Amino acid sequence: MKALRGMKDILPPLSKKYLHFIEQASNRAKRYGFEYIETPLLEETLLFKRSVGESSDIVGKEMYQFTDKGGNDVCLRPEGTAGIVRSFIEHKLDKKGGVHRFFYYGPMFRYERPQKGRFREFHQFGVESFGEPSVYEDASVILLAKDILDGFGIQHTLKINSLGCPACLPGYKESLVEFLKNEEGICEDCLRRRDTNPIRVLDCKNQNCQEIYKDAPKLPHNLCNECKKDFELLQQILKEEGVEFEIDTNLVRGLDYYTKTAFEFVSGQIGAQNAIAGGGRYDNLVEMLGGKPTPAVGFAIGIERILDLIEFEEKREGYYIGVMLEEALKEAFNITQAKRKKSKAVMEYRPKSLKSHLKSADRLGCRYAAVIGEEEYKDGSVWVKDLERKEEKRVPLKQFLEE
RNA sequence: GUGGGUGUAGCUCAGGUGGUUAGAGCACCAGAUUGUGGCUCUGGGGGUCGCCGGUUCGAGUCCGGUCAUCCACCCCA
């Protein structure tokens, strides 16, 4: 038996790195006022069709979708935002008013061809902020993402763009479609996009298309006054915070729910799948899913892609406890349990040579090796060596337990 | 969904034109050093050579298929 294609077990030492990341990222999110939320991995298919959008590749061809035994059309979540918005509305937080900030992490599922940095089951850490229309919140969310990346010393480039709002985006789409109609030689995908979701042509990877779109109308040049003001203020805030960024007028993101601010953090060190975090504002989504109109902004970080970029070394920690004679086992087990009340303690049940114990203690990453040999057994003491400082001593059991 | 690379020990990989019992290094266990970790030396345990089929007296080696994996396209975190 093997794990399914594109699905990976996370075992040590990688799992240590994983936990470490979650811990650090969670702490940073809490500093910004975000609280933990967990929603089901399985949701009604309709939720993603309505939010992520049927024209997106994610919903169009990458969902793990099936009918459950009750006849419900369900699917494994391909992303985190939709479920949280559903939960936000279901628990009537939209009616309650005020600002609600959540962070989450966990597995997402997309049926894609696996590749470097791309798996069918992958993990995201993300945040969602509801109820705050101020562009300062967009900036906060971006700064939080950057804090997390910087905390791990991850090199990155930040790209930002503004997609506009219902007041200006439709007009832009029209002028873009008009432009596309007069051009020849655009790829088949783009022809399809022109009819379903025209702004998606902007991030087409086809070089020929990009050549053509150089003359296309640009998103930031067609914003309404409010969107324009916000986009400018966002840039100003970022500059004042010393954040480097570039404006990518072709950044549109693959999920249909984004409005206004869109951003992406990319890394040049992890292969073709270079987006390590992405997000933006989605002021219409709560309403689209049946809630009271509520502005919102958030991002998601790809954990696997981050883990590829961070170094994590565990320090020597705790006790290794072993015996050199069978009779001392019970005693050793007792002190192991006692030590576990305060620190890490691992015990070897097989009596063996001191040399062999030290080797094991070293390999297990323990700071101290405590061994009971014949002499210690006789006079109720234990031999302890600090593997880091290379200092050793023989102490009475009682004293050892109090250390 | 499309293209290319790769599947031999826990890991990294050798195994010209088919030929006896399939190898190395690292890792693991033990001993040298009978109470001192990372070094050295010696010994030991480990393999359905991805899987199925074909060719052949004989296949790790050749052929076909299949699966897995990696990388890229695409898409995205």
Shared-domain flag, residues A300 and A373: no
Q: Are residues A373 and A393 in the same domain?
A: yes
Residues A292 and A335 in one domain: no
Q: What is the pLDDT of residue A201?
A: 87
The reply to whether A274 and A345 lie within a common domain is: no
pLDDT, average across residues A113-123: 93
A271 is near strand B: CB distance < 7 Å: yes
**pLDDT mean over A40-44:** 96
Q: Is the CB of A301 under 7 A from strand B?
A: yes
Q: Distance between CA A97 and CA A7 in Å, rounded?
A: 40
pLDDT at residue A154 in the model:
94
The gap between A7 CA and B18 C1' (Å) is 39
Between CA A161 and C1' B7 the distance (Å) reads 45
By residue range, what is the domain housing residue A116? 14-168+223-307
CA atoms of A137 and A130, how far apart (whole Å)? 10
What are the tens digits of pLDDT across the range A167-191?
Answer: 998 899 888 888 888 887 788 788 8
| A1 pLDDT higher than 80 | no
Model pLDDT, residue A112: 92
How many angstroms separate the Cα of A104 from the Cα of each of A39, A52, A220, A266, A329?
9, 18, 31, 21, 45
Q: Indicate which CATH number applies to the domain containing A333.
A: 3.40.50.800
Q: Is the pLDDT of residue A314 over 90?
A: no
User: In terms of C-beta density within 10 A (0-12 exposed, 13-18 middle, 19 or more buried), how is residue A75 classed?
Assistant: buried
Which pLDDT score, from 0 to 100, does residue A197 have? 82
Domain membership of residue A393 (yes or no) is: yes
Domain count, chain A: 2
Whether A273 and A343 map to the same domain: the answer is no
Instruction: Mark residues 70-89 of chain A whose C-beta is closer than 7 A to nucleic acid strand B.
Output: 79
How confident is the model at residue A332, as a pLDDT?
94
This prediction has a pTM of 0.91
Same domain, yes or no: A297 and A350: no
Beta carbons within 10 angstroms of residue A185's beta carbon? 10
pLDDT greater than 90 at residue A193 = no
How confident is the model over A229-239, as pLDDT tens digits? 999 999 999 99
Residue A339: CB less than 7 A from any atom in strand B? no
Task: Give the pLDDT confidence of A53-63 residue by residue, as tens digits.
Answer: 888 889 988 99
- Which pLDDT belongs to residue A36? 98
Can you tell me the ipTM of this complex?
Answer: 0.84
- Å from the A327 CA to the B36 C1': 22
- The amino acid occupying position A249 is T
For residue A342, the model assigns a pLDDT of: 93
Protein footprint on strand B: which nucleotides are under 7 Å from a CB? 1-3, 28-31, 33-38, 67-77
Tell me what the mean pLDDT of segment A80-88 comes to.
97
Q: Is the pLDDT of residue A79 over 90?
A: yes
State whether A105 and A161 are in the same domain: yes
Strand B lies under 7 A from the Cβ of residue A114:
yes
Instruction: Kindly report, residue by residue over A63-77, the tens digit of the pLDDT.
Output: 999 999 999 999 999
Q: Which residues have a Cβ under 8 Å from the Cβ of A248 and sit 6 or more positions away?
A: A159, A160, A161, A264
Share of chain A above pLDDT 90, in %: 67
Q: Is residue A21 part of a domain?
A: yes
Check pLDDT > 80 for residue A212: yes
Residues of chain A (21-60) having a beta carbon less than 7 angstroms from strand B: 56-58
What residue ranges in A219-361 does DSSP mark as E strands? 246-247, 259-266, 275-281, 296-302, 319-323, 345-347
Both tokens of A51, joined, read 């939010």
Residue range A97-113: average pLDDT?
96
- Identify the band that residue A3 occupies on the pLDDT scale cut at 50, 70 and 90: confident
A22-26, A105-109, A309-313: the lowest-pLDDT one = A309-313
**Mean predicted confidence (pLDDT) in A196-208:** 83
Question: Residue holding tokens 């229309």?
Answer: A133
Residue A95 pLDDT level (bands cut at 50, 70, 90): very high
At residue A194, the pLDDT reads: 84
Task: Examine the fold and report which residue of A259, A276, A307 is the final residue of a domain before the chain moves on.
Answer: A307
In the numeric block, which tokens belong to residue A13?
């030492």
Residue A197 lies in a domain: no
Whole-number distance in Å between A140 CA and B65 C1': 56
For the segment A383-389, the average pLDDT, to the nearest whole number, is 92
Whether the Cβ atoms of residue A248 and residue A160 lie closer than 8 Å to each other: yes
Choose the final residue of a domain: A286, A307, A328.
A307
pLDDT at A139 over 90: yes
- Tell me, yes or no, whether A329 and A261 share the same domain: no
Instruction: Show Cβ contacts of residue A102 under 8 Å, excluding neighbours closer than 6 positions.
Output: A34, A35, A36, A37, A84, A127, A128, A129, A130
Q: How many CB atoms lie within 10 A of CB A240?
A: 9
Residues 208-247 of A with CB under 7 A from strand B: none
Across A135-149, A205-219, A347-361, least confident range: A205-219
